[in-house]
């Protein structure tokens, strides 16, 4: 998969990205992801958001009392992040080569970006290196299960027929199950590793169905996790 292609895509959509995730149902959807991640990291100390995009999670983290730095491969997305959160630092870079000293952060977060990584093991190795002992990591991303099996096919078809939408393209994304991601986290050295499926109310649903799905979401996440399409994996550096 070409990082350049992913970067070019997000540069192209940067100015309209927030129309998807910072308005109406998209905002509620993203807020649920942000809260799921926030519950698994520390809110004191410094957090690094990998693939931070326009800074939606950083804003949420900041409102909850945390300090954060965002890193993203797309200069266009980083520009929007700087406008959203002028109090935070944003860096253009790739999540698997981190320009930080060992043991510099208390927490690491990543939302909806893990699938794009060429080498997720390298990203986790780097994350482990820059976390302080006791530091926490939480990664929330579209997971692989029966709800998402056909997503890569639709994205490839979308590109072929020239369908222009945020995130739609043949980027060779890799989708993992919670178990596969947990294994990667453990191999990188993390302890207390766990995963939880999350998200049942998709922002594209009609308002009535979305609101019903939102009410059912806690039950689905706990009792019918195969119907929840994102996965949040967390761990701790000993």
Ligand X SMILES: C[S@@+](CC[C@H](N)C(=O)[O-])C[C@H]1O[C@@H](n2cnc3c(N)ncnc32)[C@H](O)[C@@H]1O
The per-residue b/e assignment along 131-156, b for 16 or more CB within 10 angstroms, e otherwise, is bbeebbbbbbbbbbbebeeebbeebe
CA distance 60 to 210: 22
Number of C-beta neighbours around residue 18 at 10 A: 19
* Residue 48 in the binding site for ligand X (CB under 6 A): no
Site for ligand X in 98-157 (CB under 6 A): 111-113, 116-117
Site string for ligand X, 161-200 (x = CB under 6 A): ------x---------------------------------
Which single residue is written with the structure tokens 């990205």? 17
* Residue 6 in the binding site for ligand X (CB under 6 A): yes
* Residue 52 in the binding site for ligand X (CB under 6 A): yes
Q: Which of 41, 48, 68, 77 is the binder for ligand X (CB under 6 A)? A: 77
Whole-number minimum distance, CB 109 to ligand X, in Å?
8
* Residue 51 in the binding site for ligand X (CB under 6 A): yes
Whole-number minimum distance, CB 72 to ligand X, in Å?
4
* Residue 3 in the binding site for ligand X (CB under 6 A): yes
- Return the bridge partners of 47, or none: 68, 107
Whole-number minimum distance, CB 223 to ligand X, in Å?
26
Q: Rounding to the nearest 10 degrees, give the CA dihedral for residues 72, 74, 79, 84.
A: -50
* Residue 231 in the binding site for ligand X (CB under 6 A): no
User: What token pair was written down for 46?
Assistant: 């410094």
């Amino acid at each position: 998969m070409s990082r350049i292609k992913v970067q070019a895509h997000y540069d192209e959509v940067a100015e309209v990205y927030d129309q998807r995730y910072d308005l109406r149902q998209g905002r509620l959807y993203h807020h649920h992801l942000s809260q799921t991640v926030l519950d698994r990291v520390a809110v004191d100390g410094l957090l690094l958001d990998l693939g931070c995009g326009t800074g939606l999670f950083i804003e949420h983290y900041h409102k909850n009392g945390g300090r954060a730095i965002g890193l993203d491969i797309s200069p266009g997305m980083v520009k929007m992040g700087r406008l959203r959160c002028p109090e935070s630092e944003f860096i253009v870079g790739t999540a698997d080569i981190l320009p930080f000293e060992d043991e510099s952060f208390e927490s690491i977060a990543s939302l909806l970006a893990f699938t794009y990584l060429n080498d997720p093991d390298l990203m986790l190795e780097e994350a482990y290196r820059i976390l302080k002992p006791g530091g926490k990591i939480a990664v929330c991303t579209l997971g692989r299960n029966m709800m998402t099996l056909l997503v890569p096919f639709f994205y490839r078809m979308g590109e072929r027929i020239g369908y222009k939408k945020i995130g739609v393209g043949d980027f060779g994304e890799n989708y993992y199950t919670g178990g596969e991601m947990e294994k990667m986290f453990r191999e990188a050295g993390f302890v207390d590793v766990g995963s939880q499926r999350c998200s049942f109310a998709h922002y594209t649903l009609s308002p009535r169905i979305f609101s019903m799905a939102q009410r059912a979401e806690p039950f689905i996440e706990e009792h019918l996790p195969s119907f929840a399409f994102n996965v949040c994996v967390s761990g701790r550096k000993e």
